[in-house]
Chains A and B, each alone.
Chain A
Amino acid sequence: MQLTVWTYEGPPHVGAMRVATGMQDMHYVLHAPQGDTYADLLFTMIERRKERPPVTYTTFQARDLGADTAELFQTAAREAYERFAPQAMIVGASCTAELIQDDPGGLARALDLPVPTIPLELPSYSKKENWGAAETFYQIVRHLAGANAPEPDHEPPARDAQARWTCNLLGPTALGFRHRDDIIEVTRLLAEIGVDVNVVAPMGATPADIARLGEADFNVVLYPEIAHVTATWLKRTFRQPMTTVVPIGVGATREFIAEVGEITGIDVAPLLDDERSRLPWYSRSIDSTYLTGKRVFIFGDATHALATARAAEEEMGFKVVGLGTYSREFARDVRAAAKQYGVEALITDDYLDVEEAIMAVQPELVLGTQMERHIAKRLGIGCAVISAPVHVQDYPARYAPQMGFEGANVLFDTWVHPLVMGLEEHLLGMFRDDFEFNDEQGPSHHGHLAARAAIETPAANSNETGVVVAEPVVAADAATNEPGWTEDAEEELKKIPFFVRGKARRNTEKFAVEQGLATITLETLYDAKAHFGR
Chain B
Amino acid sequence: MTALISNPPAAPVQGCSERTVLRERGQREVFCGLTGIIWLHRKIQDAFFLIVGSRTCAHLMQSAAGVMIFAEPRFGTAIIEERDLAGLADANEELDRVVERLLERRPDIKLLFLVGSCPSEVIKLDLSRAAERLAQAHAPDVRVLNYSGSGIETTFTEGEDACLAALVPDLPQAEADATPSLLVVGALADVVEDQFARLFAQLGIDDVAFLPARKADAMPAVGPDTRFLLAQPFLTQTAQALARRGATHIPAPFPLGAEGTTAWLKAAADLFGIDAQRFETATAAPAARARKALARYREELAGKRVFFFPDSQLEVPLARFLNGELDMAPIEVGTPYLNKKIVGDDLAALPEDALVSEGQDVDRQLDRCHAARPDITVCGLGLANPLEVEGLTTKWSIELVFTPIQGYEQAGDLAELFARPLVRRTRLEV
Binding site for B on A (CB under 8 A): 1-7, 9-11, 13-14, 33-42, 44-45, 48-52, 56-62, 64-65, 75-76, 79, 83, 94-96, 99-100, 123-126, 128, 352, 355, 370-371, 374-375, 378, 391, 463-465, 467, 469, 471-472
**Residues of B within 8 A of A (CB-CB), count:** 63
Contact A61 B153 (CB under 8 A): yes
Minimal beta-carbon separation of A464 from chain B (angstroms): 6
Told that A44-B385, A45-B381 touch, could you supply 17 new A-B pairs with CB distance under 8 A? Answer: A1-B95, A10-B55, A11-B55, A34-B32, A35-B31, A36-B60, A38-B31, A40-B29, A50-B386, A51-B389, A52-B382, A62-B121, A95-B54, A99-B119, A465-B69, A467-B69, A471-B72
Contact A10 B27 (CB under 8 A): no
Which residues does chain B contribute within 8 Å of A64, judged by CB atoms?
Answer: 152
- The listed residue (A50, A370, A371) touching B385 by CB distance below 8 A is A50
Minimal beta-carbon separation of A30 from chain B (angstroms): 10
B76 within 8 A of A: yes
B1 within 8 A of A: yes
Minimal beta-carbon separation of B82 from chain A (angstroms): 4
Contact A34 B385 (CB under 8 A): no
Pull 8 A–B residue pairs with CB atoms less than 8 Å apart, ordered by A. Answer: A3-B101, A36-B32, A40-B381, A44-B383, A45-B381, A59-B26, A76-B27, A471-B71
Contact A37 B28 (CB under 8 A): yes
Which residues does chain B contribute within 8 Å of A95, judged by CB atoms?
Answer: 54-56, 118-119
Contact A124 B381 (CB under 8 A): no
Minimal beta-carbon separation of B37 from chain A (angstroms): 13
Determine the distance from Cα of A352 to Cα of B385 in the docked complex, in whole angstroms: 34
Contact with A along B47-86 (1 / 0, CB 8 A): 0000010111011101110011111110011111110110
Contact B380 A1 (CB under 8 A): no
Contact A125 B381 (CB under 8 A): no
- The listed residue (B28, B58, B95, B118) touching A4 by CB distance below 8 A is B58
- The listed residue (B55, B95, B122, B153) touching A99 by CB distance below 8 A is B122
Contact A44 B78 (CB under 8 A): no
Determine the distance from Cα of A39 to Cα of B29 in the docked complex, in whole angstroms: 10
Q: Please, which residue of chain A has its CB at the minimum distance from the CB of B79?
A: A2
- The listed residue (A1, A123, A375, A391) touching B78 by CB distance below 8 A is A1
Contact A5 B72 (CB under 8 A): yes
Minimal beta-carbon separation of B394 from chain A (angstroms): 11
Contact A7 B72 (CB under 8 A): no
Binding site for A on B (CB under 8 A): 1, 26-35, 52, 54-56, 58-60, 62-64, 67-73, 76-82, 84-85, 91, 94-95, 97-98, 101-102, 118-119, 121-123, 150-153, 155, 363, 380-386, 389
Determine the distance from Cα of A52 to Cα of B365 in the docked complex, in whole angstroms: 14
Q: Please, which residue of chain A has its CB at the minimum distance from the CB of B101?
A: A3
Contact A124 B385 (CB under 8 A): no
Minimal beta-carbon separation of B181 from chain A (angstroms): 32
Contact A5 B380 (CB under 8 A): no
Determine the distance from Cα of A14 to Cα of B123 in the docked complex, in whole angstroms: 22
Name the residue among B56, B76, B97, B389 with the largest chain A CB count within 10 angstroms.
Answer: B56
Minimal beta-carbon separation of B220 from chain A (angstroms): 25
Which residues does chain B contribute within 8 Å of A38, judged by CB atoms?
Answer: 31-32, 35, 60, 63-64, 382
Determine the distance from Cα of A33 to Cα of B384 in the docked complex, in whole angstroms: 22
- The listed residue (A1, A48, A83, A371) touching B68 by CB distance below 8 A is A371
- The listed residue (A2, A44, A99) touching B381 by CB distance below 8 A is A44
Name the residue among A33, A38, A41 with the largest chain B CB count within 10 angstroms.
Answer: A38
Contact A352 B79 (CB under 8 A): no
List of 9 A-B pairs having minimum Cβ-Cβ separation, nearest first: A35-B32, A35-B151, A40-B382, A96-B118, A41-B381, A10-B59, A95-B54, A1-B94, A33-B151
Which residues does chain A contribute within 8 Å of B119, judged by CB atoms?
Answer: 95-96, 99
Contact A5 B76 (CB under 8 A): yes
- The listed residue (A1, A45, A57) touching B79 by CB distance below 8 A is A1
Given A11-B59, A352-B72, CB of A34 within 8 Å of CB of B121: no
Contact A125 B59 (CB under 8 A): no
Which residues does chain A contribute within 8 Å of B155, judged by CB atoms?
Answer: 34-35
Determine the distance from Cα of A423 to Cα of B67 in the docked complex, in whole angstroms: 34
- The listed residue (A11, A49, A57) touching B54 by CB distance below 8 A is A11
Determine the distance from Cα of A177 to Cα of B55 in the docked complex, in whole angstroms: 21
Which residues does chain B contribute within 8 Å of A35, judged by CB atoms?
Answer: 30-34, 60, 118, 150-151, 155
Q: Please, which residue of chain B has its CB at the minimum distance from the CB of A125?
A: B82
Minimal beta-carbon separation of A54 from chain B (angstroms): 12
Contact B69 A1 (CB under 8 A): no
Determine the distance from Cα of A2 to Cα of B63 in the docked complex, in whole angstroms: 19
Name the residue among A37, A49, A76 with the largest chain B CB count within 10 angstroms.
Answer: A37
Minimal beta-carbon separation of B21 from chain A (angstroms): 18
Minimal beta-carbon separation of B203 from chain A (angstroms): 32
Minimal beta-carbon separation of B48 from chain A (angstroms): 11
Determine the distance from Cα of A36 to Cα of B95 in the docked complex, in whole angstroms: 24
Contact A45 B68 (CB under 8 A): no
Which residues does chain A contribute within 8 Å of B35, judged by CB atoms?
Answer: 38
Determine the distance from Cα of A256 to Cα of B2 in the docked complex, in whole angstroms: 56
Contact A51 B386 (CB under 8 A): yes
Determine the distance from Cα of A84 to Cα of B162 in the docked complex, in whole angstroms: 37
Minimal beta-carbon separation of A118 from chain B (angstroms): 21
Which residues does chain B contribute within 8 Å of A467, judged by CB atoms?
Answer: 69
Q: Please, which residue of chain B has its CB at the minimum distance from the CB of A379?
A: B71
Given A34-B151, A38-B63, CB of A3 within 8 Å of CB of B28: no
Minimal beta-carbon separation of B104 from chain A (angstroms): 11
Determine the distance from Cα of A513 to Cα of B79 in the docked complex, in whole angstroms: 40
Contact B32 A7 (CB under 8 A): no
- The listed residue (B76, B123, B380) touching A41 by CB distance below 8 A is B380
Which residues does chain A contribute within 8 Å of B71, judged by CB atoms?
Answer: 355, 374-375, 378, 469, 471
- The listed residue (A57, A62, A126, A378) touching B82 by CB distance below 8 A is A126
Contact B55 A7 (CB under 8 A): yes
Contact A59 B28 (CB under 8 A): yes
Contact A44 B150 (CB under 8 A): no
Which residues does chain B contribute within 8 Å of A11, judged by CB atoms?
Answer: 54-56, 59
Minimal beta-carbon separation of A359 from chain B (angstroms): 11
Q: Please, which residue of chain B has its CB at the minimum distance from the CB of A5?
A: B76
Determine the distance from Cα of A467 to Cα of B68 in the docked complex, in whole angstroms: 13
Minimal beta-carbon separation of B33 from chain A (angstroms): 8
